[in-house]
Amino acid sequence: MSVDGTFGDYGGQYVPEALMPAIEELNDAYERYVLNNEGGFMDDFRERLRDFGGRPTPLQRAGRLSERYDCEVYLKREDLVHGGAHKLNNALGQVLLAKYMGKERIVAETGAGQHGTATAMACAHLDMPCEIYMGERDINRQRPNVFRMKLNGSEVNPVTVGRGTLKEAISETMRDWATNVEDTHYVIGSVVGPHPFPSMVRDFQSVISEEARTQVREQVGRLPDAVIACAGGGSNTMGAFAAFVPDDETRLYAVEAGGSTLEVDSEAGVAPNSASLTTGSEGILHGARTRLLQDDDGQIMESHSVSSGLDYAGVGPELAHLVDTGRATAVNVGDDEALTAFHRLSQLEGIIPALETAHAFGYLEQVAGPDATESADADLGELVVVNVSGRGDKDLESAIEETYERDIDIAPNMDEFTGGL
């Protein structure tokens, strides 16, 4: 990356003028505290990640998957981070930074509620008042997460405009920030948004690949042939890739949500997937130039995925750049494959993954499973690291519903759960 926050043509700072001073202030704090460890910020952060967050997370050899795919499969266990996903790495970093900056209030947006719960936890831990914006529809779909945020003392503000999902929640949080910019920090939940967010969030999440790289060398004695991570906004992806980017021999796969199909209904402004790297085009959204799902006019399309955490029309600019330059490969896995992978990992390894995470495993099956087509041209090599970005407890209700709808054949008999939990 360059210091101005661009990654090739991507990145930048496309935000209302009212926010620019705050973004400059943030950029300054990012450079001082994060990049230069002023006041011992990074030491403080790493200690809290360890003691509060539960780091380092293990790099686990997955015995039964290794057998199935006839290669060594290692799992980076971000599902074991406090809160159940990698999201805390970032939330804790940003809330702590806000504290160092003297901010007195936190706002955040959330879709599936994972970033919201992570932020709420970090705010309770650091004694910061916190308000979280969440689309009304998402609130109804993710009630346990809403409840967790409230338990942690955060306020959850329903966003009723539009479809009431993540997109609207982001806009609404930006508005709050634009109004209260002087004492408030906006904790963005992925490697998206205006500079310095994409770089800063990546830096907070890089602990994933820093650990994994050390661990794989210790445990196996060499670098992996491939690293696989799901990609929504791309924060677990960039976190899992960052330290490996200079290792040319390690291939990086970003697995997007293929949804029900890659075909786009441009007329209706609807993409039945969230594959912005695969099917999107260059544009400007939420503060950055990146790859987007948009119609011919540049209106942002509704994205779709069985996993709400991947259900976003954009993607981090740095990841888009890595893909454009060929350093990373964008692939995708559809809803059915992801659900099947969700069940497979639960059964074979005793790890119930988030539906987001399940996409990464769906890709493994796609290219190395018993039914892999000849045309599956990915060569994963002999040593693969998959990032288990989160656990699936939040997804139990969706798993029931979607498994029925799709009739996933390896799923257990769940007749008693037809009515939900």
Partner 1 sequence: MSLEDAFADGPAFIPYLAAGDPGYESSLAYVEALERGGADIIELGLPFSEPVAEGPTIQNAVVRSLENGMTPPRFFEFVEDLDVSVPLVCMTYYNLIYRYGDDPGPRPFVEKAAAVGIEGFVVPDLPAEEADPLREACDEFGLDLVFIVAPTTRGERLDRIMEQVSGYVYVQARLGTTGAQTSVSDQTSSSLDRLGEYDVPKAVGFGISSGDHAERIVRSGADGIIVGSALVDIVATGYEHGDDAETVADRIETLARELDEGARAGASQRPPHPERT
Is 61 a binder of a second copy (CB under 8 A)?
yes
For residue 202, what are the β-bridge partners?
A: none
Determine the residue with CB nearest ligand PLP: 390
Q: Find, among 55, 60, 44, 41, the residue nearest to 83 by Cα.
A: 55
109 is catalytic: yes
Only segment of 11-19, 22-30, 42-50, 349-357 that touches ligand PLP (CB under 6 A): 349-357
**Taking CB under 6 A as the rule, does residue 237 contact ligand PLP?**
yes
**What are the start-end ranges of the H helices in 192-275?**
197-205, 207-220, 235-241
**Does 217 engage in binding with a second copy (CB under 8 A)?**
no
The verdict on 404 binding partner 1 (CB under 8 A) reads no
Residues 124-143 that bind partner 1 (CB under 8 A): none
The number of angstroms, rounded, from the C-alpha of 420 to the middle of its chain's C-alpha atoms is 26
Measured from the CB atom, the residue of 215 and 290 that comes closer to a second copy is: 215
Contact yes or no for 116/145 (Cβ under 8 A): yes
Number of residues in contact with partner 1 under rule CB under 8 A:
37
Task: Name 338's Cβ contacts closer than 8 Å, sequence gap at least 6.
Answer: 257, 306, 307, 355, 358, 359, 362
* CB neighbour class for 350 (10 Å; exposed up to 12, middle 13-18, buried from 19): exposed
Q: Which of 190, 276, 389, 398 is catalytic?
A: 389
Task: Provide, rounded to whole angstroms, the least separation between the CB of residue 271 and a second copy.
Answer: 30
Cα-based torsion angle of the residue sequence 99, 101, 106, 109 in order, rounded to the nearest 10 degrees: -120
Contact flag: residue 303 with ligand PLP (CB under 6 A): no
Distance, CA of 119 to chain centre:
14
Q: Please confirm, yes or no, whether 308 is among the known catalytic residues.
A: no
Which residues in 142-171 contact a second copy (CB under 8 A)?
Answer: 143-144, 147-148, 150-153
Is 2 a residue of the active site? Answer: no
| Residue 68 contacts residue 345 (beta carbons within 8 Å) | no
* Options 5, 56, 93, 233; binder of ligand PLP; rule CB under 6 A: 233
Q: Which does 66 bind (CB under 5 to 8 A by kind): ligand PLP, partner 1, a second copy, none?
A: none
Q: What is the distance between the alpha carbons of residues 398 and 393, in angstroms, rounded to a whole number?
A: 10
List the structure tokens of 107. 């706002």
Query: Interface with partner 1 by CB under 8 A: which range of 59-67, 172-180, 222-230, 332-340?
Result: 172-180
- In the chain, helix, strand, coil percent, each to 5? 45, 20, 35
Please state, in angstroms and rounded to a whole number, the distance separating the CA atoms of residues 119 and 89.
Answer: 10
Q: Which one of the spans 7-15, 114-122, 132-140, 148-156 is the region binding partner 1 (CB under 8 A)?
A: 7-15
Closer Cβ to ligand PLP, 181 or 354, answer by number: 354
Q: Give me the residues that bind ligand PLP (CB under 6 A), please.
A: 85, 87, 112, 114-115, 190, 230-237, 309-310, 354, 356-357, 389-390
Binding site for a second copy (CB under 8 A): 50-52, 54, 57-61, 63-64, 77, 79-80, 82, 84, 120-125, 127, 143-144, 147-148, 150-153, 343, 346-352, 392-393, 396, 399-400, 412-414, 417, 421
Q: State the catalytic residues.
A: 87, 109, 389
